[in-house]
C-alpha cells in the first residue's frame, strides 16, 4: 500500500516536473484587462506606453507600433529587462503589457510582468487580453503592426 502511494506520488511529481511552468493568469484582475479593439482605438488618440513581455522572436517578426521589447518575463533575464525599462518611467505612466505567445490561460509571461510592475508602483497598468495568440487576435484582425525590430 505504502509503496503504491510512493509510486503514484513519484509519477505525479515526474509529470509535473516534465512540464514548463504554467499559469492561469488569474493574478491579473478583469478590471485591468484591455481588449485588442480598445487598444487599437487608443493608438489613434492617446497611445499608452506598450511593453511586449513575450519571446523576442515574436517581437522581431511583428509587434504593436511603439511597443518596447522587455521580456520574456518567465525568466530572470526578462524580468531584469522589464524592470530596466520600467525604471525609466514615471509611476503614473499609462502602461499596457502584452505577450500573445500562446493562449491566454497558458501564457508564462503575463502574470510575472503584471506582478513586477505592480510591485514597482505603477498604478495605471493594464494587460492586453490576447485570447489565442498575437497573430490571430491582433494581426489577423487588421490592427496596426510593424514588422522587424
Partner 1 sequence: MHRRRFLMGAAAAGVSPVQALQKLAPGMVPPSFIRTGLDGKRVDSAAFKGKVVLLDFWASWCAPCVITIPHFRDWQTRLRGRGFQVIGISMDDSASEAKAAAARLGVNYPVVMGDAKLAAGYGGILGLPVEMLVGRDGRILSIWRGETPPTVIENAVKASLG
Pick left, alpha or beta for residue 56 (phi over 0 → left; psi -120 to 50 → alpha; otherwise beta): alpha
Rounded least distance, CB 56 to partner 1, Å: 6
Q: Does 101 bind partner 1 (CB under 8 A)?
A: yes
Region binding partner 1 by CB under 8 A among candidate stretches 4-12, 24-32, 114-122, 127-135: 127-135
18-77 binders of partner 1 (CB under 8 A): 18-22, 47, 49, 55-58, 60-62, 65-66, 72, 74
The residue among 5 and 17 lying less far from partner 1, judged by its C-beta, is 17
CA distance to 55, 97, 126, per residue, from 100 (Å)? 9, 10, 15
Q: Does 134 bind partner 1 (CB under 8 A)?
A: yes
Cell of 108: 508564462
Pick left, alpha or beta for residue 142 (phi over 0 → left; psi -120 to 50 → alpha; otherwise beta): left
Q: What residues line the site for partner 1 (CB under 8 A)?
A: 18-22, 47, 49, 55-58, 60-62, 65-66, 72, 74, 100-103, 106, 108, 132-136, 139, 145-148
Amino acid at each position: 500500500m505504502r509503496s503504491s502511494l510512493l509510486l503514484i506520488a513519484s509519477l505525479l511529481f515526474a509529470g509535473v516536473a516534465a512540464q514548463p511552468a504554467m499559469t492561469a493568469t488569474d493574478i491579473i484582475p478583469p478590471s485591468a484587462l484591455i481588449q485588442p479593439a480598445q487598444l487599437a482605438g487608443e493608438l489613434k488618440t492617446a497611445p499608452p506606453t506598450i511593453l511586449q513581455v513575450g519571446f523576442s522572436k515574436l517581437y522581431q517578426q511583428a509587434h504593436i507600433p511603439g511597443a518596447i521589447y522587455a521580456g520574456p518575463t518567465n525568466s530572470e533575464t526578462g524580468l531584469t529587462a522589464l524592470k530596466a525599462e520600467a525604471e525609466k518611467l514615471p509611476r503614473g505612466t499609462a502602461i499596457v503589457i502584452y505577450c500573445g505567445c500562446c493562449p491566454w490561460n497558458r501564457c508564462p509571461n503575463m502574470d510575472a510582468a503584471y506582478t513586477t510592475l505592480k510591485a514597482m508602483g505603477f498604478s495605471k497598468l493594464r494587460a492586453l487580453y490576447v485570447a489565442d495568440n498575437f497573430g490571430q487576435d491582433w494581426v489577423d484582425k487588421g490592427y496596426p503592426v510593424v514588422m522587424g525590430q
